[in-house]
Amino acid sequence: MSELSIGLLIGLVTVLFLATGMPVAFALGLVTVVFLVIFDGFYALQFLADTMFGGLNDFTLVSIPMFVLMGAAVASSRAGSDLYEALNRWFHRVPGSLVISNLGACALFSAMTGSSPATCAAIGKMGIPEMRRRGYSADLATGAIAAGGTLGILIPPSVTMILYGIASETSIGRLFLAGVLPGIMLTSLFMIWAWFLCWKRGEGMSAAGQSYSFKEKIESLPKIGPFLLIIVGVIYAMYGGLATPSEAAGVGALLCLIMVVVIYKIWRPGDMWHILRDTTRESVMIMMIIGTSVLFSYMLSSLYVTQSIAEYIGALEINRWVLLFFVNILLLVAGCFLPPAAIILMTTPILLPIIVNAGFDPIWFGVILTINMELGLITPPVGLNLFVINGIVPDVRLPVILKGALPFMLCMVVAIIILCIFPEIATWLPDTLMGG
Amino acid sequence: AMVGQDAMAVELKASHQFPGGKGDVRDEMVQIIAREVAAANVGLDIKVYPGASLVKANEQWQAMLKGQIDITAFPLDYASGRHPEFGATLMPGLVKSHEHAARLNGSPFMQEIKKVIEDAGVIVLADAWLAGAFGSKEKCILEPADVQGLKARSAGATFAEMWAGAGASIVSIPSNEVYNALQTGVANATDTSTGSFVSFRLYEQLSCVTAPGDNALWFMYEPVLMSKRSFERLTKPQQEALMKASKKSEEYFASESKKLDDKMIEAFEKNNVKVVTMSDKQAAAWREVAKKTSYKTFSEKVKNGGKLIDMALSVE
Amino acid sequence: MDVYVRAVAALSRACGVAAALMILMAVLIVCQMIFVRTVLQESAIWQSEFVTFILVAATFMGSPYVLLTRGHVNVDLLPLYLPHKARIWLALLASSLALIFCAVLLWDSVVWWLEAYEGNWLTSSIWRARLWIYYAAMPIGFGVLTLQYIADIYCLATGRDMPFGMTPETRL
Ligand code: NA
Ligand code: NA
């Protein structure tokens, strides 16, 4: 049996196991067990414990629970609604101002957490009911938050980029910087779409009757102050010589905890436990998938499947843009079924050498990959952001959310195309600040 | 056709952490063995997994003992948690130059180390000692006093102790973040192999580097190893072909090892980084610091530790 | 059997609390490390290794709690399409398959832990920490995870739990 057909068989069995509805983490682990036993024999199983432990035993991964904790801490407070409320006082004359403010709040929040579901929950929990109350349709309100939440992994810090940095051995500091301008660009695209739709549908205009004096506008600013302070604090820690990107996550997490205690008066043990519980649930889920993806990759490498696929694609001699197109399609399909952590750890060892050989910049590709992962966060059946929104507004059905999210997903595709034409949007900032 | 099916069936897995197919000397050492063995036509096929693509760098020793891999090019100090004696193979000031390293290989000191390796069920296929350097963003590091107040990132525990003893503070950072840490100032000095100084592009961040020269302090033993069990499973002709290939690999390394240092000097000079070397006296001053720090701890914590260091120091 | 289900749930919760506290501890230690390094200008040696280990430990120990609270993401496309009865069978199959994996890893990690304990393995860092203490998190985590899956399967089979947490009315 050739390595490529083994690879195909592995893909098939993985889909079968995933389809049973067992947790993604354990499905990846079980596929590993099955194929190692078939091709290497039972003795190969004894290597699993240390392989999995070794895969997780990496200081760079430390930042993941911490960036998640930042999100969970702030999401437990009223900080999210303070954020879009403040923005709304400035934008209220614009059609769709509340949606635009919510998108802006998502972007700002993204600068504090590495996780998309956390962003989605933090802004959406108050934002979606508020938008619907003020006359915005359910599809736009939920779609905007589903999409805005995905900015969490594009605008630094980002769990996805940390994983890509580890898997591709590229600098995480550089990857973070590369995400800044594309993040701003994508936020702008989202806002333009929201503005256009509201203007066309005449939606949310009733709320525009409310007007704010200049004094009220100024008064709203201190509410976003703590956010800006934390963002500046983390950036200073990261780029000012205090800490490496992984360590800066710890600073950010502590600052966020202090902020919710001091400013939002959340300090009772019960409240604290909620923050810690949410952090534990999300980060353990991600880390467990990381652990079993390590097993999965080990199995693919041990059976020489990874190497054979890379050789096969490398020998295809196709145009580099055609290659990139197919890579994007592959990531998109994978994104439907798997969460970002699993996709990155499983595909990067195969894709990166091919991408680099085709003359693409690995940092730039990290950004393209991340936008693909953002799409995957909204596409069913496994879309973490969909789960979160379903938790916030159980009465809005999935097709409605998807209808609202679809145009925003097209914005992401547009962003990918723009980045292909102007790769400098991603590479300029890291090259300028960190040297070429 | 007479080679037979049982001979055809032997496939060995070789793993290392260095980049594959890009001319890395340690990758090349393993590739040479694989190529030579294949050319010998004894029914032996070695699959090389470079870049830690199968087993993580630190896990390779254990993986070899368990039979997960058969061969590895491995920095022996990584296994010093299992066999503390291996700490002596990344010990400041024990090896002075490449010529000295060659003499050391046959010395009683290395026989002692190899005995520990063999007792653990592993054989050495090819010896290799890699030289390293000190680099700093501030002033050149020549005397121990030069590191006073520096924030140093060290490749190994024994070196960290010596740095600390000379007045530097130690930061522990994973190797892939060293560049970042130097750039932002989390660290402002580091030690590692000359090859890593180049591959991590540290010349972009450092202002001065202390090259090995004739009075190097930094040497690390990174031999090509094989599990004894895997070796004994081979037929006589296969074993002979493997040993012959290993010999070739070792000779290749001997001819290349110094070029790694030259490459580093060239890269750093091209980027206007100052390159210096230590004098006898300066290196001796460092050894005095080591005596009070790394050597002392090693002698206390490792059975025979003091004896091992004395044996190494006595090699002329 | 009900006692078993309750006891295992309590055990999983206890592990979850332990994991949460370890994450909190990791945050504090990272900040302490930065403080020691930048303000006190002293060496920080044990922190990064220790933080890495407790977060790995938190992952394994937290996993049963995440299973208990349905936090491990899964693909529920097929379950949503199936009628309730078939869904129960599918859930039983899914849980049994996952149980196999957890049991394999439990066995594997116990053997590995014993090796580390008997060999008195240390880390190769300057800190020279004993590895069996850290490694213990893996057999404990997978042990409780295995127990939790057995409890889940029992609850599914006896109708105490809905398959995939979906009521008979839930359809796509
Ligand atoms: Na972010
Ligand atoms: Na998806």
Structure confidence by residue, pLDDT tens digits, A244-294: 877 888 999 999 999 999 988 888 999 999 999 999 998 999 899 989 989
What angle separates helix A362-378 from helix A384-392, to the nearest 10 degrees?
40
Q: What one-character DSSP code corresponds to residue B19?
A: P
**SS3 label, residue B160:** helix
- Confidence check: pLDDT of A382 > 50: yes
Q: What is the pTM of this model?
A: 0.89
Residue A122 has pLDDT above 90, yes or no: no
d(CA A49, CA B78): 19
Rounded distance between C-alpha atoms, residue A144 and residue A407, angstroms: 9
pLDDT of residue B152: 94
Q: Which residues pair with B162 in a beta bridge?
A: none
Gap from A87 CA to chain C (nearest CA, Å): 31
Q: Do B161 and C45 touch (CB under 8 A)?
A: no
Please report, as a single letter, which amino acid is at residue A83: L
From the CA of B174, how many Å to the nearest CA of chain A? 7
Task: Print the SS3 string covering A72-135.
Answer: HHHHCCCHHHHHHHHHHHHHCCCCCHHHHHHHHHHHHHHCCCCCHHHHHHHHHHHHHHHHHHCC
Residue C50 host element (H or E): helix C47-68
Distance A219 CA to ligand 1 centre (A): 27
Is the backbone of residue A187 left (phi > 0), alpha (psi -120 to 50) or beta?
alpha
- Which residues have CB under 8 Å from A247's CB, separation 6+? A62, A63, A237, C30, C33, C34
In Å, how far from its chain's centre is CA A56?
20
Distance from CA of C128 to the nearest CA of A (A): 16
Instruction: Please name the residue that has the structure tokens 């501890």.
Output: C25
Give the closest of C123, C126, C131 to B161, CB-based. Answer: C126
Q: Tokens at residue A335, please?
A: 């994104």
Q: What is the Å distance from ligand 1's center to A156 Cα?
A: 4
User: Which ligand sits closest to the CA of A373?
Assistant: 2
Structure tokens belonging to residue C112: 């590995």
| Residue B60 tokens, joined | 């390779």
Work out the end-to-end distance of chain B between its first and last CA atoms, rounded to an integer number of angstroms.
Answer: 52
Overall average pLDDT of the C17-45 stretch: 92
Report the pLDDT value the prediction gives residue B5, as an integer from 0 to 100: 45
Q: Can you tell me whether residue A193 is helix, strand or coil?
A: helix
Residues of A in contact with C32 (CB under 8 A): none
Question: pLDDT at position B1, please?
Answer: 32
CA C135 – ligand 2 centroid, Å: 34
Contacts of C126 in chain B (CB under 8 A): 157, 160-161, 170
Measure CB to CB from residue B176 to each of A54, A169, A304 and give the nearest one: A169
Write the CA distances from A294 to A49, A66, A285, B110, C35, integer angstroms. 11, 21, 14, 36, 33
Ligand 2 centre from A332 Cα, in Å? 8
Cβ distance of C51 and A339 shorter than 8 Å? no
Confidence of residue C120 (pLDDT cuts 50, 70, 90): confident
Instruction: Evaluate if residue B197 carries a pLDDT over 70.
Output: yes
CA distance linking residue A115 with residue A158, whole number of Å: 7
Q: How far is CA B146 from CA A127, B136, B156, B273, B276, in A?
A: 58, 10, 20, 17, 13
A25 touches chain C (CB under 8 A): yes
Q: Which of residues 285-314 of B touch C (CB under 8 A)?
A: 301
The pLDDT-based confidence of A388 (bands split at 50, 70, 90) is confident
Does C171 score more than 90 pLDDT? no
Query: Given a cut of 70, is residue A157 above it in pLDDT?
Result: yes
Inter-residue contact A412 to A374 (CB < 8 Å): yes
DSSP secondary-structure letter at B138? S
Instruction: Dump pLDDT digits (tens) for A187-216.
Output: 999 999 999 999 888 887 655 556 778 888
Count residue pairs from B and C with Cβ separation < 8 A: 50
Ligand number with the minimum distance to the CA of A377:
2
Q: How far is CA B174 from CA A59, A169, A174, C125, in A?
A: 7, 12, 16, 12
Check: CB of residue B148 under 8 Å from CB of residue B168.
yes
**Torsion, CA A392, CA C165, CA A386, CA A28, rounded to 10:** 140
| Interchain CB contacts (distance < 8 Å): A and B | 64
CB contact under 8 A, B186 and C37: yes
Mean residue pLDDT across chain B: 92
pLDDT at A214: 82
Q: What are phi and psi of B34, to 5 degrees?
A: -60, -45
Query: DSSP letter string over B220-285?
Result: EE--EEEEHHHHHTS-HHHHHHHHHHHHHHHHHHHHHHHHHHHHHHHHHHHTT-EEE---HHHHHH
Q: How many CB atoms lie within 10 A of CB B118?
A: 12
Beta-carbon separation of B177 and A242 below 8 A: no
- Please tell me the least confidently modeled range out of A58-67, A265-274, B73-82: A58-67
Question: What is the CA angle C168-C169-C172, rounded to 5?
Answer: 110
Say which of B58, B78, B169 has its CB closest to residue C42: B169
Q: Subunits that touch chain B (at least 3 Cβ pairs < 8 angstroms)? A: A, C
Backbone dihedral region of B211: left (phi > 0), alpha (psi from -120 to 50 degrees) or beta? beta
Helix (H, G, I), strand (E, B) or coil at A340: helix
Closest CB from B66, B68, B173 relative to A244: B173
Cα of C121 from ligand 2 centre, angstroms? 42
Maximal CA-CA distance, chain B? 69
Whether omega for the bond prior to residue A381 falls within 30 degrees of 0, making it cis, is yes
Please indicate whether, in this complex, the C-beta atoms of A171 and B180 are within 8 angstroms of each other. yes
b/e map A133-167, b = 16+ CB within 10 Å: ebebbbbbbbbbbbbbbbbbbbbbbbbbbbbbbbb
pLDDT above 50 (res B2): no
pLDDT number for residue A207: 53
Looking at the CA of A107, name the nearest ligand. 1
- Which ligand is nearest the CA of A18, by number? 2
DSSP state of A207: G
Is pLDDT of A363 > 90? Answer: yes
Element (H, E) at B15: strand B10-15
The pLDDT value given to residue A399? 87
**CA B156, CA B163: separation in Å to the nearest integer?**
11
* B residues 183-222 closer than 8 Å to C (CB): 186
Average pLDDT over residues A105-109: 90
Segment 373-392 of chain A within 8 Å of chain C by CB: 380-382, 384, 387
Q: Using an 8 Å Cβ cutoff, are C32 and C46 in contact?
A: no
Query: Which residue in chain A has the smallest CA separation from C95?
Result: A22
Q: What is the pLDDT of residue B3?
A: 43
When mean pLDDT is compared across B53-62, B224-233, B291-300, C49-58, the lowest value belongs to B53-62
Q: C121 and B81 in contact by Cβ < 8 A?
A: yes
The answer to whether the Cβ–Cβ distance between A29 and C105 falls below 8 Å is yes
The secondary structure of residue A395, as a DSSP letter, is: T
Alpha-carbon torsion (A32, A38, A39, A45), positive or negative: positive
For testing contact with chain A, the best of C15, C30, C170 (most A CBs within 10 A): C30
Task: With H, G, I as helix, E, B as strand and everything else as coil, classify residue C59.
Answer: helix
Q: pLDDT-derived band of residue A154, with 50, 70 and 90 as boundaries? A: very high
Calculate what percentage of chain C has a pLDDT beyond 90: 71
Q: Has residue C49 got a pLDDT over 80?
A: yes
Mean pLDDT, rounded, of chain C = 92
Per residue in B226-272, pLDDT tens?
999 999 999 999 999 999 999 999 999 999 988 999 999 999 999 99
The closest alpha carbon to B79, from B102, B29, B34, B113, belongs to B113
pLDDT at B8 over 60: no
**Domain total of chain A:** 1
Where is C105: in which H helix or E strand? helix C84-118
With DSSP H G I counted as helix, E B as strand and the rest as coil, what are the percentages for chain C, rounded to 5? 75, 0, 25
Instruction: Quote the distance between the C-alpha of residue A240 and its chain's center.
Output: 25
Chain C residues in contact with B159 (beta carbon < 8 A): none
Phi/psi at B129 (nearest 5 deg)?
-115, 125
Q: Does C29 touch chain B (CB under 8 A)?
A: no
Question: In this complex, is the C-beta atom of C50 within 8 Å of any C-beta atom belonging to chain A?
Answer: no
User: What whole-number distance in Å separates Cα of residue A64 and Cα of residue A118?
Assistant: 12
Could you read off the pLDDT of B20-70 as tens digits, one per residue?
Answer: 877 889 999 999 999 999 999 999 999 999 888 888 888 899 999 989 999
Q: Which of A200-209, B78-87, C19-28, C75-84 has the lowest mean pLDDT?
A: A200-209
C120 Cβ under 8 Å from any chain B Cβ: no
For range B286-301, the mean pLDDT? 94
User: Whose CA is closest to A146, among A391, A398, A386, A411?
Assistant: A386
- Would you list which residues of chain B are within 8 Å, Cβ to Cβ, of chain A? 13, 47, 49, 53-56, 58-59, 62-63, 66-68, 173-174, 176-177, 179-181, 183-186, 204
Give chain A's radius of gyration (CA, Å): 22
Contacts of C51 in chain B (CB under 8 A): none
Q: Which amino acid would we find at residue A309?
A: I
**In terms of residue numbers, what domain contains A266?**
3-434
Neighbours of chain A (3+ CB pairs under 8 A): B, C
- The two beta strands, B10-15 and B44-49, are parallel
Looking at all shown ligands, the one closest to residue A175's CA atom is 1
Beta-bridged to residue B44, according to DSSP, are B10
Report pLDDT for B103: 93
CB-CB contact of B138 with B189 (8 Å): yes
Across the range B88-96, mean pLDDT stands at: 94
- Choice among A27-31, A153-157, A245-249 with the minimum mean pLDDT: A245-249
- Alpha carbon of residue A429 to chain centroid: 20
C44 vs A322, residue with greater confidence: A322
Answer whether A391 touches B (CB < 8 Å).
Answer: no
Which residues contact residue A15 at a Cβ distance below 8 angstroms, ignoring those fewer than 6 apart? A337
pLDDT at B78 > cutoff 50: yes
Residue in this structure with the two tokens 């074993």, named with its chain if needed: B239
C124: nearest CB among B81, B174, B186: B81
Q: Could C126 and B78 be called an inter-chain contact, meaning their C-beta atoms sit closer than 8 Å?
A: no
